[in-house]
Amino acid sequence: MTLRSYPRFITLEGGEGAGKSTVLTALRDVLASQAHDLVVTREPGGTPLAEQIRGLLLDTHHEPPTTEAELLLVFAARAQHVRETIVPALERGAWVISDRFTDASYAYQGTARGGDMAFIGELERRVVGIAPGMTLLLDVPVAVGLQRARGRGAADRIEAEREDFFERVREGYLARAKAEPARFRVIDATQPAQDVATQAVAHLREWIGANA
Ligand SMILES: Nc1ncnc2c1ncn2[C@@H]1O[C@H](COP(=O)(O)OP(=O)(O)OP(=O)(O)O)[C@@H](O)[C@H]1O
Ligand SMILES: [Mg+2]
């Protein structure tokens, strides 16, 4: 079974503090101003149950999940998100922008945690089944992203990882982008937020022009 790619499904990826949520606001404005039906969502999360799973994943006060438990929780949340939120929206013709999606599992649970990539691929095919048409990867050196993220307050369980973990996350994302150059747009996110947003919006406009 191969993945079904939806042109109107766009994802934002990048490490902690890369600026995904900041860029999302600019993309939302573009689509909203063109009166497109738009669903903005995020992972882990995007449905009430999946948001509860997010809480379990990011919680720092209780027993940490093992690598395998973390992987399965992430995919449990994604299964719910895909069936309940993303696919229904795409099927009615809406645009969907998600702050993170399956690429994040390859980068975090795969490359960074050393999870089994073939198993992640199997979960992607059997549990997720869909892929974004375009993915914007905000690439930033780890120290820069962490400084931005930590400026926001207490670290969650993932944010509290060591720097070498995030170096592997970054490598994992760049490897994904290299393997699928037609889907990915890599943006240098060390630039001022306004410039990052301008480039992301330009990619979006070009994509809408080709796929509206
Ligand atoms: N290009 C930029 N230059 C400087 N600061 C930025 C830039 N983009 C975002 N910021 C700031 O860095 C912080 C993190 O940005 P943001 O929350 O958008 O990152 P994120 O990728 O969504 O992080 P997370 O992975 O933790 O959700 C915010 O305070 C934001 O205002
Ligand atoms: Mg964010």
Whole-angstrom Cα distance, residue 117 to residue 49?
26
Q: What is the mean pLDDT of residues 87-106?
A: 97
Q: What is the mean pLDDT of residues 170-188?
A: 98
Per the structure block, which two tokens stand in for 149?
A: 């993220």
Closest residue (by CA) to atom 14 of ligand 1?
17
Whole-angstrom Cα distance, residue 117 to residue 153?
32
| pLDDT tens digits, 15-31 | 999 999 999 999 999 98
Whole-angstrom Cα distance, residue 183 to residue 177?
8
Between the two ends of the chain, the Cα-to-Cα distance in Å is 27
pLDDT at 154: 82
Q: Measured from the CB, is residue 115 less than 6 Å from ligand 1?
A: no
197 is in an annotated binding site: no
Domains defined for the chain, CATH in brackets: 4-211 (3.40.50.300)
Q: Which atom of ligand 1 is nearest to the CA of 24?
A: 18
pTM for this structure? 0.95
Percent of the chain with pLDDT over 90: 83
pLDDT at 159 over 90: no
pLDDT at 1: 60
21 is in an annotated binding site: yes
